[in-house]
Amino acid sequence: MTAATQSLWRRIWARYDDTKLIKTVFFGMVGGVIGTLYIDYQELQRSASYEVPDGARPVPVLPAAAPNDGSPQAPQTIRPDFVTTPADAHRASMSIKLGSEGVLQLTGTIEPETATLFASEIDKIGEYVKTISLDSPGGFLQSALTMGALIREKGYDTKIADGALCASACPLIFASGTNRTVDKKAAFGLHQIYTAGGDPVSAAEAMSEAQSTTARITRYLEEMGVEPAVWNFALETPPSQLYYLSSDELRNFNITTD
């Protein structure tokens, strides 16, 4: 080290006493920790997912209403033992099969592409269809509303046969039928609409989405001739449960027409 370099280092060192040096080191360490935490946070944000793992409770979009004297009671949130469709059939993507006497059977989960597939089938065989028979645990809301609009446009009837289940978004399809029938040993269930995927949203965005979705469903039910008040059962029931409507409730809210 040259004499000039040594002299330079002595001048630099003279500017810092021990206290200043300790502070410099400390704040440098704090800055490094903050930087690391920020990077980790950014990674978490990029990888954040609202996917619902098997057995986990989904994330609701519509909040539950405050309990009151008319809130769902426990007995009507217990799955009826007369539902005979295997769980695997319900979990599978919705199948579309034309049976005898113009009955088009829809079985399985409603997915984003289901509405397009349904419309394609109607284009091919719609002239032979008279009744849409539903057996579905629900699924994608937009698909259900789109399918319902097409069913109403075509003037088809809807039904839920003995042993079948129509729950969550499925009742919105059912409501579109010109004539609507639920057999005695069929299950009709409602619960809160929820999201199982997508990007994280703020509380304000979630509330806005909840209100928009509620208004949209209310208008849809009114257009289909169903009493919108029936959706209170959905708002009051957590997405981990279903509220099964009785035969009287199905009639009183104009869900069934027979």
What's the per-residue H, E or C state across the chain? CCHHHHHHHHHHHHCCCHHHHHHHHHHHHHHHHHHHHHHHHHHHHHHCCCCCCCCCCCEECCCCCCCCCCCCCHHHHCCCCCCCCCHHHHHCECEEEECHHHEEEEECEECCCHHHHHHHHHHHHHHHCCEEEEEECCECHHHHHHHHHHHHHHCCEEEECCCCEEECCHHHHHCCCCCEEECCCCEEEECCCEECCCCCCCHHHHHHHHHHHHHHHHHHHHHCCCCHHHHHHHHHCCCCCCEECCHHHHHHCCCCCC
* Residue 66 pLDDT > 80: no
Query: 112-171: per-residue pLDDT in tens?
Result: 999 999 999 999 999 999 999 999 999 999 999 999 999 999 999 999 999 999 999 999
Global confidence as pTM: 0.71
